[in-house]
């Protein structure tokens, strides 16, 4: 059976953003074109971020897939680790603020920035 590796940005039980991987089986379709089960979606947005773009720490408002169409996007976590995504790469952004907690930029969320000499173009697909 074929499988798809899903990189997930999530909030752990202490409210801190982390990365993990999950496996989605590709057990539908035909042998020459394996498919996952049909997944729900709730619309999409395209974004262009200019050279030099960077965000402050924030949580994802709603779970969504992030697909890098052009340029490079770096995601920084509170522990100082950084993950770089380039064209054709993706991750599932689900680092939501834990219920009942007030956002603390020293604890919660992630930051992002454009890397390199090309604007960053991304597609956000709501889950």
* Angle formed at CA 121 by CA 120 and CA 123, multiple of 5 degrees: 140
pLDDT tens digit string along 47-82? 999 999 999 999 999 999 999 999 999 999 999 999
Structure token pair of residue 59: 């949580």
Average pLDDT, the chain: 96
| CATH code assigned to 2-126 | 2.60.120.10
Give pTM, 2 decimals.
Answer: 0.93
> b or e along 46-84 (b: 16 or more beta carbons within 10 Å of the residue's beta carbon)?
eeebeeebeeebbbbeebbbbbbeebbbbbbbbeeeebe
Structure token pair of residue 81: 């680790």
Residues in the chain: 127
């Amino acid at each position: 059976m074929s499988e798809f590796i899903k990189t997930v940005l999530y909030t752990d039980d202490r409210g801190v953003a982390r990365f993990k991987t999950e496996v989605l089986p590709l057990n539908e379709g035909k042998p020459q074109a394996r498919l996952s089960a049909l997944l729900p979606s709730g619309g999409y947005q395209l974004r262009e971020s200019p050279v030099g773009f960077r965000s402050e720490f924030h949580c994802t408002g709603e779970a969504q897939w992030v697909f890098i169409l052009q340029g490079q996007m770096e995601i920084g976590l509170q522990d100082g680790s950084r993950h770089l995504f380039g064209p054709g790469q993706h991750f599932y952004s689900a680092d939501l603020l834990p219920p009942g907690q007030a956002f603390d930029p020293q604890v919660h969320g992630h930051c992002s920035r454009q890397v390199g000499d090309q604007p960053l173009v991304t597609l956000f697909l709501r889950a």
